[in-house]
Amino acid sequence: MSMNRNTRQDSAVFSLNMNKYLFPLMTLLVLGQLVYLFTAFDVTGAAADLLERLTLTLAG
């Protein structure tokens, strides 16, 4: 019986630690990935368009 209580307590402590550490880490990783994707697309697409527009207006 005490063995069962110990394993239940260990799993409760483990889930508490998971809630405290793993979920913020996962959200940070997902947010970082999204920011990386958006900045990568922004740098390749919008910045190139902006640079082309600037050079055209400066040359014209």
Under DSSP, the state recorded for 1 is -
pLDDT of residue 9: 77
Instruction: Say how far apart CA 34 and CA 43 lie, in whole Å.
Output: 14
Closest CA to 28 of 36, 38, 17: 36
Burial category of 56 from C-beta neighbours within 10 Å (exposed 0-12, middle 13-18, buried 19 and up):
exposed
pTM of the predicted protein model? 0.42
> What is the per-residue pLDDT across 22-40, written as a single tens digit (0 to 9) for each?
888 899 999 988 888 777 7
The confidence band for 15, taking pLDDT boundaries of 50, 70 and 90, is: confident
